[in-house]
Amino acid sequence: MILPGIQAIMGIQLIAVINWSFETLTPGHQRIHPVAFSWSCLPLAG
C-alpha cells in the first residue's frame, strides 16, 4: 500500500509553503521549491 506514503510526502511539501518560515526564505529559494516539488512528483506519477 504505497498510496498513503505518497499522500504524506505531498502533504508535508504543501504544508511547507503555508508555514510562516517559508516566507523567510529568499525569493530564489521560494521559486526553487515548486520546481523541486514537481520533480519529486514525477517518479510517483509514473
Q: Which of 13, 20, 18 is nearest to 40 (CA)?
A: 13
Residue ranges of alpha helices (H) inside 1-46 are 3-18, 27-45
Q: What digits encode the pLDDT tens for the residues 3-29?
A: 677 788 788 888 888 888 888 989 999
pLDDT for res 26: 93
- pLDDT greater than 70 at residue 46: no
Q: Which of 37, 31, 32, 35 is nearest to 15 (CA)?
A: 37
pLDDT for res 43: 79
